[in-house]
Amino acid sequence: MSEGYATEHQKAEAVTVRFVDSITEIGRDAWNALTGTRNPFMRYEFLHALEQTGCTGPASGWLPRHLALYDSKEESCRVIVPLYCKTNSWGEYVFDWSWANAYQQHGLTYYPKFVTASPFTPSAGPRLFGDAAGHMPLIGEKIKQRALRDNISSWHVLFPTVEECRLLRGQGMHIRHGTQFQWRNRDYNSFDDFLGSLASRKRKNLRKERQRVRDQDIRFTVTEGADISEAQWADFFLYYQNTYLQRGMQGYLSLEFFHLVAASMPEQLLLISAELCGRDIAAALFFRNDENLFGRYWGCREKREFLHFETCYYQGLDYAIEHGLQAFDSGAQGEHKIQRGFEPVTTWSAHWLADADFDRAVGRFVKQERTHIEAYQQAARRLLPYRDGG
C-alpha cells in the first residue's frame, strides 16, 4: 500500500508511505543505510535470514509488514519502522499474555497485533530509523489506521531506546518498564582485575566456580564467525534445541538460519565451545559490535557443575575484557547474574490498544507496575557483589 502525505516540515513535497510484506522489497542497501549495522539484530542480514528461512512468516506467527517512507518519487527511503503482524506472543520477551486473556474473557480478539521488534531477541536498541522524529505523527497515524482497517488490536514497540520512548509517548502510547541484567566494563585489564572490584566473599565464590570447571578438565575455545565449521554448527544446533526441549518447546531458529547469518555477517558472531576429553559438550553463541557483547543462545550435551555459568558468563567476560568491549548484554531475566556482577538496567516497551477501554486499563497497569519494577531494581542493586555497592 502506498500513499502520498504532506507534513508541516515538508510542505513542498509529499512522502510516500508503504507497508511491505518482505524486507526484500526495501532491499539491503536502503535498509542498512538507515539502520546501520552496529546493532546486529536490526540489520538487514539478520532480519532477512529470519524471513528467508521461515523463522519469521505464517508458521511462526511473525508476518513482516515493515513501514517505509519514501520521497515523493520513491527514489530515496527516508524512514524505516520494522513491523510484524503477530498471531501469538511467542518470542517477544515482553509478556502480554494476561492482556490477551483479558481480551478473550470480554469476547474480544487480541490477535493479530502489530509488533515492532527484533524477533526472538530481547536486546534493546533503536527501533525507528531515518528521520523518524520528523515524521512521527505520520508514522503513528498510518500504523493505527492500518490496524483499524485490518482488525488488528494493538501496536507494541519492544526494547526501544529512551529517546524513542519520548516520541512514542507523544503518539499516545503507554511506556512500560522492564528489567534486564547487564555487565559494564570498568576499564578492567583482566578477569582478575574484575574480581578485584568485588567484595572478598563474592570474589572467592566466583574463583571457586571457575576452578571447579577447570578441575573437571573442561577446556574452552573461541571461534570467530567466519571460522565456525559445519561440525561446530551441527553440535551447537543440537545443544540449542536441547535447551528448549527441556522446557517442552522447540527452538525458534533453524540450522539454516544460523548458517545464513554466519555467511552474511560473520564479523558479528563468535562461538565459545566447551571441550571434555577431545569432545565438545557445550557451546554458546554470541554476537558483538565494536562496543558490546551480546550473549544469545546456549546448550549442552551433558550437564556439568557450573558449566552454564562458565560458558555463558565467565568466558564472555574474558572475551569482552580482552577485546575492550564496554558492555555485556546477557539476554532476558536471570537473577543469578546479579552475584556475578551483572547490574539491573531498565528496558522499555511502548503500547497502544485500539479498544479505548483496554487502552486506558493498560495505561493504569503500566503505571502501577512501574513502582514494583523500581523497587525490584533497588533491591537487586543491594545484592550486587561490588565493593563500592555497584
Report yes or no on 333 lying in a domain. Answer: no
Same domain, 13 and 41: yes
Quick one: pLDDT at residue 6?
Answer: 43
Same domain, 284 and 318: yes
* Burial (CB count within 10 angstroms: exposed 0-12, middle 13-18, buried 19+), residue 11: exposed
Same domain, 249 and 307: yes
Res 317 pLDDT > 80: yes
Same domain, 28 and 167: yes
* Burial (CB count within 10 angstroms: exposed 0-12, middle 13-18, buried 19+), residue 341: buried
Nearest CA-CA partner of 26 in 56, 63, 68: 68
3 state DSSP class of 320: helix
Q: From CA 271, how far away is CA 287, in angstroms rounded? A: 9
Reported confidence tier of residue 72, pLDDT bands at 50, 70, 90: confident
Q: Give the pLDDT mean for 345-364.
A: 98
Q: From CA 384, how far away is CA 382, in angstroms rounded? A: 6
Report yes or no on 251 lying in a domain. Answer: yes
Q: Which of 74-83, 190-199, 285-294, 305-314 has the lowest mean pLDDT?
A: 74-83
Residues facing 329 on adjacent strands: 182, 294
Reported confidence tier of residue 389, pLDDT bands at 50, 70, 90: low
Q: Are strands 292-300 and 154-158 parallel, antiparallel or unpaired?
A: unpaired
106: CATH? 3.40.630.30
Instruction: For 92-145, write each residue's pLDDT tens digit.
Output: 999 999 999 999 999 999 999 999 999 999 999 999 999 999 999 999 999 999
Res 331 pLDDT > 90: no
Q: Give the pLDDT mean for 79-101.
A: 97
Type of residue found at 208: K
Range of the domain at 298: 186-325
Report yes or no on 389 lying in a domain. Answer: no
Quick one: pLDDT at residue 329?
Answer: 96
Type of residue found at 70: Y
Same domain, 105 and 227: no
Residues facing 296 on adjacent strands: none
Report yes or no on 337 lying in a domain. Answer: no
Same domain, 42 and 141: yes
Residues 6+ apart with CB under 8 A from 282: 239, 273, 274, 298, 299, 300, 301, 304, 307, 308, 311
Instruction: For 9-24, write each residue's pLDDT tens digit.
Output: 443 358 999 999 999 9
